[in-house]
Chain A
Amino acid sequence: MSGITTPSTTVIPFPRLRRWLLAVPLLLLVAYLVLADNGAVSQTGTFLHELMHDGRHLLGVPCH
């Protein structure tokens, strides 16, 4: 028999994952600011909208 023994994937226990889930709201906030904010959260008026304008259109999210 010839073969390749690949190391088996380790399951990461959920308790060890849990504290990293705090990063998710932060990452979603970044995505929101890039894709959808029109000044309500960033408090920069339409500046962020204008700066991210072409990206919003070409990434496919509703823009204006």
Chain B
Amino acid sequence: MVRTLLVRGLLLGLLAGLVAGGFAFVVGEPHVDSAIALEEAAAQAAHGHETPATEADHDHGVEVGRPVQKAGLFLATGLYGLAVGGVFALVFAGLRGRVGPRSDGQLALAAAGTAFVAIILVPFVKYPANPPAVGDPETINGRTWLYLVMILVGLAATAIAVATARRVSGDPWARRLAAAAGFLVPVVAAWVLLPPVNEVPGGFPATLLWEFRLASIGTQLVFWTVFGVLFGWVSDRAVRRRAPVVLAPV
């Protein structure tokens, strides 16, 4: 049972990751290319033009060329999907029949939607994705920790929301309101209290930054939508095969 779910999560995660990679390739890569061109122009201007050595101390193109990086995009989104899909399946196995909708298909949709909000959207609103040329390499460790903290805040807020809602009895709308408050209070507190990160260089084109960020959140939206729908569909079909739906006579 658990093994079936895990294999399902791994395979569908890989598949959804590759689909998201396709979206990122078509919609996102042009913006990555533009940002790298700006970064290289800035590096040239800083070091003078006739030194080919600037290429060597530059972040990109040292060991891995741009065409390989674009192929690496699919490797990255595919492996990301595999890992996330596997963890999702095990969480799904634990939630089943305990928290959320009773039907496997509905639970898959609800869990995937919640995961997108809690671990993608919550961190994104505080620390949005940045294209190459934006972000100081010196601060990468600090920024990575802050991003991780926001993911944990999103997960904790989800748990608080479920726990709060379960304490409220009676009117389902009172429960939903309690869940919304239980989720929003820690999330908004973290948005306000955690230190801001703003390392966009002066003169970086606002449109490019905006479009890159949309492409980035779009990639995650494509992943979680495709993954949630596929996981729900396959799970529902599996349940029906095991115990066929009985149509009661009129």
Residues of B within 8 A of A58 (CB): 24, 28-29, 32, 73, 77, 129, 215-216, 219
Query: Are B90's CB and A24's CB within 8 A?
Result: yes
A15 CA / B104 CA spacing, docked (Å) = 21
Q: Which residue of B lies closest to A9 (CB)?
A: B97
Residues of B within 8 A of A53 (CB): 60, 64, 69, 72, 132
Residues of B within 8 A of A38 (CB): 140
Q: A5-B245, A31-B80, A56-B76 are in contact. Are A62 and B62 (CB under 8 A)?
A: no
Main secondary structure of the interface of B (DSSP, over half): helix
B1 at the interface (CB under 8 A from A): yes
Number of A-B contacts (CB under 8 A): 179
A41 at the interface (CB under 8 A from B): no
Q: A36-B144, A45-B63 are in contact. Are A51 and B97 (CB under 8 A)?
A: no
A8 CA / B24 CA spacing, docked (Å) = 39
Query: Are B90's CB and A21's CB within 8 A?
Result: yes
A64 CA / B242 CA spacing, docked (Å) = 49
A61 CA / B147 CA spacing, docked (Å) = 7
Taken residue by residue from 1 to 36, chain A's Cβ proximity to chain B (1 for < 8 Å, 0 otherwise) reads as 111111111111010110011011001101101111
Query: Are B132's CB and A63's CB within 8 A?
Result: yes
Residues of B within 8 A of A7 (CB): 239, 242-243, 245
